[in-house]
Amino acid sequence: MKVLTTIADFRRAHATLGSASLGFVPTMGFLHDGHLEMIGRARAENDGVAVSIFVNPLQFAPTDDLEAYPRDFERDRSLLEQAGCDLLFHPDVVEIYPDGADLDVTVVPNRIASILEGASRPVHFTGVATVVAKLFNIVQAERAYFGQKDGQQVAVIKRMVRDLDIPVEIVVVPTIREDDGLAMSSRNSYLNAEQRAAAPVVFRALSSASDLFAAGGRHADSLRETMRGVLEAEPLANVDYVSIADNETLEEIIGIIDRDAMASLAVQIGPARLIDNLVLAAHRQPGL
């Protein structure tokens, strides 16, 4: 595995790799099994694999956890070596933003970034879309891998690729969970024992909606109420939003669910803002 810290070095290493196809997994590091699952998929579907580790300041608001965000580069490096990564891109902030964060040109996703996560974190998706567009231009991969865990991020990136004709295929990888259902996340490390014990309420709430849906429940309001009820029974959970939305546009569904939907939510538990989602497929094939 080659570790590259500059754009020029990455481009040279990519050129000498000689891989017919490159799969790319962008991350912020502090890797867990969710990341490794994506790297495994990228390994299986491409000749070469590139991973980036970059904690992107542009997607954090001043009140967010940029400074506290967990980092362990040496551990990440050895996990990536074992996982069969070929190129590890690990730039510092100045390499990506040589003029500082005050960019003249950014990629601004519109309506899709103003709702759900975007309502609570107004600058977040501009930061995400801008850095992902830059990384796509640097890495020049055939395929890029994103986790369903960040469902709105998937929707924003797919939309960006479509609207800006970026020549990369977006592959979405299912959410990897702990045994008790908690979605793996680098931010889970913020939870103390008591908060960690409360955190599976997130998956229980989503499961209550998907169980109701599987039993034929199609009223979006009832699903939202079910999720909210489960969350509110947990004193440590502060609900930001619960949502039943169109799986592609993420517009909130009013009335009957007649298309693929995403049940999603955000809660604050102690210092951690936890987000998660489940896709509700309107037209399941019989037997699946």
Q: Which of 35, 124, 219, 283 is catalytic?
A: 35
Q: Looking at residues 246 to 285 of the shown chain, list those that interact with ligand AMP (rule: CB under 6 A).
A: none
Q: For the CB of residue 218, give the shortest distance to ligand AMP in the complex, in Å.
A: 28
Q: Does 139 bind ligand AMP (CB under 6 A)?
A: no
Cβ(26)–Cβ(56) below 8 Å: no
Give the CA count within 13 Å in the CB-facing half-sphere of 147: 24
Q: Does 175 bind ligand AMP (CB under 6 A)?
A: yes
Q: For the CB of residue 187, give the shortest distance to ligand AMP in the complex, in Å.
A: 8
Residue 279: how many other CB atoms lie within 10 Å: 17
Residues in contact with 34: Cβ distance below 8 Å, sequence separation at least 6, in sequence order: 147, 149, 173, 175, 176, 183, 184, 185
Nearer to ligand AMP, 37 or 86 (CB): 37
Active-site annotation holds for 35: yes
Task: Give the C-alpha distances (Å, rounded to integers) separating 85 from 12, 147, 162.
Answer: 17, 18, 28
Nearer to ligand AMP, 186 or 243 (CB): 186
Q: Looking at residues 144 to 163 of the shown chain, list those that interact with ligand AMP (rule: CB under 6 A).
A: 146-147, 149-150
Q: Does 126 bind ligand AMP (CB under 6 A)?
A: no
Which of 107, 141, 161, 173 touches ligand AMP (CB under 6 A)? 173
Residue 143: how many other CB atoms lie within 10 Å: 18
| Residue ranges in 72-164 assigned as alpha helix (H) | 73-83, 93-96, 117-120, 124-139, 151-163
> What are the catalytic residues?
35
Which residues contribute to the site for ligand AMP (CB under 6 A)? 27-28, 34-35, 37-38, 146-147, 149-150, 173, 175-176, 183-186
